Amino acid sequence: MPLVEYRRKRHFNRTAEPAGKTVKRKSDRRLSYVIQKHAATRLHYDFRLELDGVLKSWAVPKGPSFDPGEKRLAVEVEDHPIEYATFEGSIPEGEYGAGEVIVWDRGTWLPVGDPHDGLKKGRLEFDLDGKKLHGRWILVRIAGRERSNKPNWLLIKRHDDFARPLKEYDVETAEPRSVKSGRELEELAENTFAEDKWTRRGLQKAVKRRRTAAKAAASNGKAATASKKTVKKKSAARGRKKSTASRRD
């Protein structure tokens, strides 16, 4: 049961993430891939390759780069259902991976050689044909560096016509929006304070500032109303005093 760990970590009566199932692929259909930008505890990119009816998945903290000199850490995580490739939205607070998710890139992938053999040996090479990523890439497992039971890999761009130096082109900065909705994480969270780096903590700070500003505006409105009432009362009191004095005269 390849999705046991995925389902064990989630409460599907609380999260909109799909429970999913293993899907049999038609032999004439190309394999799909998806990369989801995820503002969880730390901002990262979830890199997923369709294989054997599920999405083989890695969390890439710094995201992909077209620069072959950039070896990006990719932490292997549990398999996800195929339906997850279209998931975009908010994972509720208290749930596994709580935070905002957008479909940052998607397309098809073609393994170089037998992908099962590549995964087993820790050297999976493939071509990507997506909205943002293209060309030859490779995932290389790092031997002996696992801090947990989740193996660490490196995601590396191969030298080809699509390779570009990072200082010349940073795909993350150049292409921040969802290929599904056209939204950025900030827009998905309905947040106008975009100066924070989009970690979960940054999101919480921005929301707090927004609420504080709203309370201040409401408080100022109440203060202004109270001030007007005070002025009216003082004016009425002065009027009554003048009237009393006039009658005495």
Residues belonging to the active site = 197
DSSP 72-109: EEEEEEEEEEGGGGG--EEEPTTSTT-EEEEEEEEEEE
Q: Residue 97's closest CA among 106, 105, 89, 85?
A: 89
- Rounded Cα distance between 42 and 80, Å, is 20
27, 33, 47, 50, 55 from 107: Cα distances, Å: 17, 6, 12, 11, 13
Q: Residue 89's closest CA among 36, 35, 132, 21?
A: 36
Beta strands in the chain, from DSSP E residues, in sequence order: 31-39, 43-51, 54-60, 72-81, 89-91, 99-111, 123-130, 134-141, 152-157
The 10 Å CB-count burial string (b at 16+, else e) for 238-249 is: eeeeeeeeeeee
Helix (H, G, I), strand (E, B) or coil at 159: coil
Q: What is the DSSP letter of 25?
A: P
123, 238, 241 from 249: Cα distances, Å: 106, 17, 13
